[in-house]
Structure 1
Amino acid sequence: MQSDTRTISEHCRSANLKTERVRIAITLPTFRRPEHLIATLDSLEALNAGDEAAVVVMDNDAEVLEGAAAAAEWLKTARLKGMVIVAHQRGNCHAYNAGWQTALQTFPELEHIAVIDDDELATPGWLDRLRKTAERTGADLVGGPQTPVFSDPSLERWRKHPVFQPHYDRTGPVPILYSSGNVMISRAVLDAMPRPFLDPAFNFIGGGDSDFYRRAKARGFTFAWCAEAAVMETLPSRRTEFSWLNARSLRNGAISAIIEKRQDPGVAGRLRRMGKSVALLLASPVRGVKMWARTGSAVAGLYHLQVAAGRLMAEAGLVNEQYRNPESN
């Protein structure tokens, strides 16, 4: 398979990148965060993974290329080797697809792809812990927590809001994963899944990862969680504003309805989804009071109501494209 140079182009690579030695490619999508991108790369270099790991940076801003330029300069002196590509089509699904495709093409002995975002920092042992969990459990895909780090310490109270909570709290096999911000995927999964890996229909609403995991599960692939393999996610203060939390909660509901529609299309499927959404709406006051009591936050208590509303809005075709304007996300 050859890269489509209209949509993917190589910007640079380490001068002494030994492609045949690489077993794990760490794919790192970026969009207009050059300073934090360098911090992410520094955290990856600190893992001391050796020649068996390489980083693939995917700049999704083909116009300005701030990330590509910053990463290219970083690679000149870094112990961690890798390459920088440009994903010319805007959207996070396009960026992920470009990185995964490039890794498969570039590293003939590739065994796993790991993913970290450009607003995250790898913790010590991150890569090794994901891999060991995969070996121990036999899972094809292993995820880990994205621990929030708020830019203002006074915002720590928001940590208990559901949108910032990990989906699992114990290491071991799990039914499925939901986020691509911290995950390791075996090559067998990528070899088996149809291209594009992530459906571009989810580019600006999110959920392409959840849809990918659902399809991978349908093909018999298995999942695990590694609670010790955390990444630290830097959160700007705007992500604690009600408008952002409301939009994210509504979006979560919409994504769940959209994915269920793909699994169960047709009139009967829609009736089942509507019934589930209405049931969630009716249950949301009681669930909300419990959430409020547990977190001490009335805003967090609205989460279940917002998810139910988001599901119903999606049935009417009203889906918030929260990633359409990354600067405000």
Structure 2
Amino acid sequence: MPFVSVIVPTLRRPESLERALRSLFSQTAPIASIVVVDNDPQATARDTATRLTAESPCPLIYRHEPHPGVATARNAGLQETDAPLIAFLDDDEAASPQWLAALLTALDRTNADVVFGPISGRVPADTGWATSYLEAFFGRAGPSTTQRIDKPWGCGNSLMVRATALPGPAPFDASADQSGGEDDALFAALGARGGTFGWAADAWVEEFAPPHRATMRYALSRAFAYGQGPSQTAAKARDWPAVAKWMIVGAVQTALWGLAAIAATVIAHPSRAELMDKAARGLGKIFWMKGFEPHFYGTRELARLDRLSPSAA
């Protein structure tokens, strides 16, 4: 039986973390260990992990990583297990009972280094006209069948062969702690080494966007950051012609989709959110430089949560 550890990084989401962990307790495939990485300096996930330890069908390991940062948290989780297969589940996700079994089946069928699964986005009921867009934004759609795929997805809902996909003691780049994109860099390097990616069509999870993220402002900021990716990747490779190409592509996309978004907004067309998203991604290709990078994790996210806390009033 494959030796799989599931790593769950978490930051001040005790209720969401409990939902994620209970979904792992119900898996039909065996798990060697579950590693909870508490990325809050105040160790707010400790009580939840401790309380649920007795209910876990496998060792539930708690790791406190007080330095806030998404890449640092993932690296800390890897330090707590020597499993040859590593699955990642985000603390705002809940896995279906067949989730891990489907990932393992896909890994066997595709012989890939990393396999990803689909995500069903869930947002609060008060998101109004943007609900459909936000559900799709926080979700993930892919092929209807399990197969090899050309491009990787994000780390949440994934299974990786440690020896090939996660080289070294700290494979995630800590320079991405605040902005994210540590998984993009990891998978880009894997692809450059000839690594392969797979899709597990039945490995479903639900992702529950918290209220402070289930907004157009947040989604468009993320879309802008996603748009920065191609330009930043080319810049890191010092491929300046490619940088120029992506910036030109971005300028065209910004102009085209921006005008379309304005027109759709005036008439309240249902597609206006998707058009805004495309325009934001184009803008990101233009403004890819340092200083324009939005920060979604680490100390910035802690500051947001502090502002949202009732005790901060």
Q: TM-score, normalised by structure 1?
A: 0.81
CA distance in 1, matches of 2:25, 2:239: 49
Show the counterpart of 2:308.
none
Asked whether the 8 Å contact 1:38–1:70 carries over to 2, the reply is: yes
Asked whether the 8 Å contact 2:110–2:198 carries over to 1, the reply is: yes
Matched, 1:142 2:115: yes
Amino acid at match of 2:229: I
Q: What SS does the corresponding residue of 2:212 show, helix, strand or coil?
A: helix
Amino acid at match of 1:43: S
CA distance in 2, matches of 1:277, 1:71: 44
Q: Deviation per CA, 1:279-323, whole angstroms, max 9, x where unpaired? A: 433443588699999x92312211111111122222363111122
Q: Cα distance 1:93–1:287, how it changes in 2: closer, same or farther (>3 A)? A: farther
Asked whether the 8 Å contact 2:5–2:86 carries over to 1, the reply is: yes
Asked whether the 8 Å contact 1:28–1:58 carries over to 2, the reply is: yes
Matched, 1:270 2:243: yes
Q: Cα distance, 1:184 vs. partner?
A: 0.1
What's the RMSD between the two structures over aligned residues? Answer: 2.8
CA distance in 2, matches of 1:74, 1:59: 14
Show the counterpart of 1:124.
97
Show the counterpart of 1:172.
147
Amino acid at match of 2:34: V
Q: What SS does the corresponding residue of 1:147 show, helix, strand or coil?
A: strand
2:67 aligned to 89, 92, 96, which one? Answer: 89
Q: TM-score, normalised by structure 2?
A: 0.85
In the TM superposition, 1:1-329 aligns within 5 A as 23-50=3-30, 52-61=31-40, 63-104=41-82, 110-152=83-125, 158-161=131-134, 163-170=137-144, 171-190=146-165, 193-262=167-236, 264-265=237-238, 267-284=240-257, 296-315=270-289, 317-323=291-297, 324-326=299-301, 328=304
Q: Cα distance 1:280–1:47, how it changes in 2: closer, same or farther (>3 A)? A: same
Q: Cα distance 1:76–1:175, how it changes in 2: closer, same or farther (>3 A)? A: same
Q: Which runs of 4+ in 1 moved over 4 A?
A: 153-157, 285-293
Asked whether the 8 Å contact 2:121–2:137 carries over to 1, the reply is: no
Asked whether the 8 Å contact 1:137–1:173 carries over to 2, the reply is: yes
Q: Cα distance 1:156–1:27, how it changes in 2: closer, same or farther (>3 A)? A: farther
Q: What SS does the corresponding residue of 2:86 show, helix, strand or coil?
A: strand
Show the counterpart of 2:309.
none
Amino acid at match of 2:22: D
Q: Cα distance, 1:325 vs. partner?
A: 2.8
Asked whether the 8 Å contact 1:152–1:237 carries over to 2, the reply is: no
Greater displacement, 160-169 / 240-249: 160-169
CA distance in 2, matches of 1:299, 1:34: 31
Structure 1 unmatched ranges of 5 or more: 1-20, 105-109
Q: Cα distance, 1:268 vs. partner?
A: 3.5
CA distance in 2, matches of 1:167, 1:290: 28
Equivalent residues, number: 299
Asked whether the 8 Å contact 2:65–2:76 carries over to 1, the reply is: yes
Q: Deviation per CA, 1:159-212, whole angstroms, max 9, x where unpaired? A: 335633425233311012121111000122246x24521111211111111111
Q: Deviation per CA, 1:246-269, whole angstroms, max 9, x where unpaired? A: 21221211233222322x315434
Asked whether the 8 Å contact 2:231–2:243 carries over to 1, the reply is: no
CA distance in 2, matches of 1:299, 1:281: 14
Asked whether the 8 Å contact 2:250–2:284 carries over to 1, the reply is: no
Asked whether the 8 Å contact 1:22–1:54 carries over to 2, the reply is: no
CA distance in 2, matches of 1:239, 1:34: 17
